[in-house]
Amino acid sequence: MHKWIMFIVFTAASLLGLFLLTFKMPDKPVDESALLPPGVSLMKIVASNDFTFNQEVFTAKVGDKVIMKLQNKSGVHGIKIDALNVSLDNDTPETQVEFTEPGEYEIYCSIACGVGHKTMKAKLVIEAA
């Protein structure tokens, strides 16, 4: 009797493994920066429902060409940088920017996302070349 039970368990595990290998394997991570044109870098801003971005300070230099990309890890968020005329959300998740002036710019969430929305901020520092 134990042999039949072991056979059934082994067969079920084998079929499950075969199914997962065939249909449900997650995609391999893609290095997004490898797909960018030469001379352009990626600035990925990840927003989450703990009312934070993935970094408190993002940095670049004058003359840098950057693709700014918004990713919502959880919830629905948008970002704005008023002084640079940057506005990203689910409809427009990325834009290309070339920094021409040094300075510090405020990045803030542009979509009312909950009780911590007003504190959801980060800083973009553009350093002189």
Model-wide pTM > 0.75: no
Q: How is the chain split among helix, strand and coil, in percent rounded to 5?
A: 25, 40, 35
Would the pLDDT of 34 be above 80? no
Confidence category of residue 96, pLDDT binned at 50, 70, 90? very high
**pLDDT tens-digit series, residues 71-86:** 998 888 999 999 999 9
How high is the mean pLDDT of the chain?
88
Classify residue 88 by burial, with Cβ atoms within 10 Å: 0-12, 13-18, 19+: buried
Pairing between strand 52-53 and 79-81? unpaired
30-44, 56-70, 89-103, range with the lowest pLDDT:
30-44
Q: Which residue has the higher pLDDT, 2 or 84?
A: 84
* DSSP 8-state code for residue 77: -
Question: What is the residue extent of each domain of the chain?
Answer: 37-127
Q: Which residue has the higher pLDDT, 27 or 129?
A: 129
Q: What is the CATH number of domain 37-127?
A: 2.60.40.420
Would the pLDDT of 62 be above 90? yes
Measured distance CA(51)–CA(115) in Å, rounded: 9
